[in-house]
Structure 1
Amino acid sequence: MRKSTINLALAFVLGASVAGGIAVAEINNIGGVKACVDNKTKVLFLSADGKCAKGRSPLELTTNAFDVKNLAATITPSVVSIAAETSTGGGTGSGWVYNSSASSSYIITNNHVIDAVASTSGTITVEFSNGDQADAKIIGRDKAYDIAVLQINKGNLAALNVGDSTKLVVGEPVMAIGSPLGLASTVTTGIISALNRPVSAGTVGQESFVNAIQTDAAINPGNSGGALINAQGQIIGVNSAIATLSSGGTSGSIGLGFAIPITEAKRVIDEIITSPTNTSTRPLLGVYFDSTYEGIGARILRLTPGEGAEVAGIPVGAVIKSIGGQRVTDQVSAVVRIRSYAPGATISVTVDLPNGGGTKTFTVKLGKAPSNG
């Protein structure tokens, strides 16, 4: 059976304090090569006059737009180390300031960083680049998207500017900031290596599913929950996982890091913060997949009555081949594609019909279900 999805173990190590200063970033964009990006495939096309055909967006390729020195100095004060301690151990990682009032601030991290405390009891400590510390409490979390929202009683902090991960292009430069191996305020750089990578992580029944940004910026244990930053100084991803060649414990970076797209994460974060119950939701296609299917795609075992797939007329036994124009190779990639959308979104689902009935594309409106917090 052909597989293109990735199942990864997520690891994290206690962060330590490293003092750092703050500088003001100024990005100077001096004209460069003009190009167009296909809105669907993300393929890059050069454009002599800067004009783009229908379905393509303009992009200016500059040579000096990524000011690593000043961006790093500006952003590192907004990225924190997180230690989650329990009576039997704990987990650690990174986080970042989402927003801040005069008296308190929301900190975002991965759910797996604080899962031990949330599941039992313990303490969570947030440490800033200047060594200041603050106790944090869990506001809400979503295991399926591997997102957790914390709050600290410390205000007037600089929050990161949130970018738009739907506009990312393979090859553009990025910066990862976090606390790998306990080394706080560590900055690494690279490019976006790929988009829409279906990644699953965690134990059976407790998996998170990510339509991930792949980057070759060095990400190591402890970077979990940290920030992936673009050339404009905006957060465009939450660093969450690394691929490893080791069969045992956790190895270091091999240039295969994965981040949760910020546009996907932001919906979950905002729902957790604004919901009266501090919970989030997930989109619902209304299908159960056949876990024994070994072909390419995801075969539907049964439908949920009244939900989107049944309403649209997708039959039991159909094999999903693509969702929203993105290829589906197996059950995991199908789940990842579905969860990359917001509840209520209208999407295209292309299937091979059962009994040799050919290929058909259906328009489906996704439903809504509580996510697993």
Structure 2
Amino acid sequence: MNVKGGLWSVTLAGALALALAAGAALVPQQAQAQSAPIVRGLPDFTELVDLVGPSVVNIRTLEKVDADGASDGPDEDMLEFFRRFGIPVPNMPRRRGQRPGGPQQEQPRGVGSGFILTADGYVMTNAHVVDGADEVMVTLTDKREFKAKIIGADKRSDVAVVKIDATGLPAVRIGDVSRLKVGEWVMAIGSPFGLDNTVTAGIVSAKQRDTGDYLPFIQTDVAINPGNSGGPLINMRGEVVGINSQIYSRSGGFMGISFAIPVDEAMRVSDQLRASGRVSRGRIGVQIEPVTKDIADSMGLAKPQGALVRGVEVGSPAQKAGIEAGDVITQYDGKAVEKFSDLPRMVGNTKPGTKTTVTVLHRGSSRELSITIAEVQPDEGVAAKDEGGKSHADKPSKMAQQWGLVVQALPADEARELRIKGGVKVVSADGPAARAGLKAGDVIFALANTDVGSVNEFEGLLSKADTKKPLSVMFRRGDWAQYTLIRPER
């Protein structure tokens, strides 16, 4: 019995094994492939370092100081650290006996990185690396050192091009950023803290990160530190796909989040810098903000998308084209504006003088407008003026007070000066109106997408407004027509 039982047990076990094997054979190979994990070895970066390493340079900047004014303080690497990552630069006192205008000497100012664009000596780096430098020194991997000429620097994109007097240099290969995928391995070479030709690696964490007006950054977890600025971000094909530019940090050190300027954007800038020493960008003269769910609902948009026009500059291309505060720009030059940050890049990359089209949602209906692009002026900034002053106001209605507004009729001379036919002047704004950004002196010319011609019309529109929903307001402040939403008290 024991023997037989033992034999039976063995036979049963064998039969079960055979049955399982047969069942496995019946499972389709495709299903097995789908369930099997993708197993790959870690990448080997040695060939990439040999290929791209000679094209990466170290950049030192110098500044002229009074010869007797040198004092103990942060070294060049720490100064770069302070400048790049938002830490105040220590204000070093002038040594006793130092005389302004006396003999000068050059002292180190900062350290960065760069890479060779062309065999005849054009080098790309960050604008902040060379900004304010009196002299720029470029050191190659073979230890040759050259004094560089700054061809041009563009602070808006943080791209600069310098030129050294050399030929036969190993230029980098430029990659296609559109092929770059999240999760893809990338490598950086640079000079963190002055340590030349330091290699670090990681993956692409995200693309199209909106941290600048004109640049959708590449986010990576590649270790980037002060001195890496201006160095290349390289894909596994040995092509440059970005310029390492910034890190996100609460401590000032690397925390696993780095940002690189996409190389296609950088090349557009460098081409202009090499051609003319400056960058020409388009503008249309609008202030914009995101389209929130509240705004989308109030305008009948299926989802929050496009760029909400908060303000329109008087005499700008936008005003001449018919764009008004409160409009939502949904397309530019036939391309969809998915989010408001897309628009500055689209317009900025358009050559000034170009005629194109914009599609706007205007008071519930879509229309296409023709517009001629103007040029952004250096350091352009428009500050809206406040129209202050106190004057006698009509007694506010209970409804107007509920929204936090006290208004009066707009004097005829002010209407002529503002070149508008109607509207009411804000005497005071508090509560919901103040939180929406309205101020005394603003001129409201439309409520709930309806023109306001007088105080009576203003009160009539308020009486019809749903006090549980945001109220859209278009108003003038100085030279700017602007848009806002007054949200009722909860």
- TM-score of the alignment, normalized to the shorter chain, above 0.5: yes
1:241-252 equivalent positions in 2, closer than 5 A: 241-246=246-251, 250-252=252-254
SS across alignment from 1:70: helix
Q: Which residue of 2 aligns with 1:270?
A: 271
- Check whether the contact 1:289–1:299 (CA below 8 A) recurs between aligned residues: yes
SS across alignment from 1:260: strand
Unmatched 5+ stretches in structure 1: 1-47, 49-60, 201-207
1:225 maps onto 2:230 in alignment = yes
SS across alignment from 2:116: strand
User: Aligned partners of 2:262, 2:290: CA distance in 1, in Å?
Assistant: 30
1:82 to 47, 59, 77: 59
Q: Which residue of 2 aligns with 1:32?
A: none
- Check whether the contact 1:92–1:222 (CA below 8 A) recurs between aligned residues: yes
Amino acid of the structure 1 residue aligned with 2:282: P
Between stretches 345-354 and 208-217, larger displacement belongs to 345-354
- Check whether the contact 1:212–1:260 (CA below 8 A) recurs between aligned residues: yes
1:91 to 110, 123, 126: 110
By percentage of residues, which structure has more helix?
2
User: Aligned partners of 2:374, 2:259: CA distance in 1, in Å?
Assistant: 26
Unmatched 5+ stretches in structure 2: 1-29, 31-37, 66-107, 296-303, 380-490
Which digits, 9 at most, give the CA deviation of each residue in 1:285-339, with x for residues without a partner? Answer: x0321689998855330057573x557654322245787546436xx67535654
- Check whether the contact 1:320–1:328 (CA below 8 A) recurs between aligned residues: no
Structure 1 residue 77: Cα displacement:
1.1
Amino acid of the structure 2 residue aligned with 1:112: H
Q: Which residue of 1 aligns with 2:339?
A: 328
Q: Which residue of 1 aligns with 2:310?
A: 300
Change beyond 3 A, Cα 1:327–1:74: same
Between stretches 316-325 and 137-146, larger displacement belongs to 316-325
Q: Which residue of 1 aligns with 2:285?
A: 287
Amino acid of the structure 2 residue aligned with 1:221: P
- Check whether the contact 1:280–1:371 (CA below 8 A) recurs between aligned residues: no
Which digits, 9 at most, give the CA deviation of each residue in 1:163-210, with x for residues without a partner? Answer: 12133221222111111111111111111111111113xxxxxxx742
1:73 to 50, 54, 59: 50
- Check whether the contact 1:90–1:116 (CA below 8 A) recurs between aligned residues: no
1:125 maps onto 2:131 in alignment = no
Percent identity over the alignment? 35
User: Aligned partners of 1:236, 1:363: CA distance in 2, in Å?
Assistant: 36
Which digits, 9 at most, give the CA deviation of each residue in 1:31-77, with x for residues without a partner? Answer: xxxxxxxxxxxxxxxxx9xxxxxxxxxxxx99579541110122111
Structure 1 residue 221: Cα displacement:
1.4
Structure index of larger Rg: 2
Amino acid of the structure 1 residue aligned with 2:226: P
Q: Which residue of 2 aligns with 1:114?
A: 130
Change beyond 3 A, Cα 1:113–1:177: same
- Could you tell me the TM-score, scaled by structure 1's length? 0.66
Change beyond 3 A, Cα 1:281–1:90: same
Change beyond 3 A, Cα 1:292–1:333: closer
By percentage of residues, which structure has more strand?
1
- Check whether the contact 1:71–1:233 (CA below 8 A) recurs between aligned residues: yes
Change beyond 3 A, Cα 1:147–1:302: same
Higher relative contact order (CA 8 A, sep 6+): 1
Would you say how many aligned residue pairs link Structure 1 and Structure 2? Answer: 286
- Check whether the contact 1:293–1:299 (CA below 8 A) recurs between aligned residues: no
SS across alignment from 1:87: strand
Change beyond 3 A, Cα 1:90–1:304: farther
Amino acid of the structure 1 residue aligned with 2:157: Y
User: Aligned partners of 2:368, 2:156: CA distance in 1, in Å?
Assistant: 26
2:200 to 172, 188, 197: 188
1:343 to 340, 351, 361: 351
SS across alignment from 2:146: strand
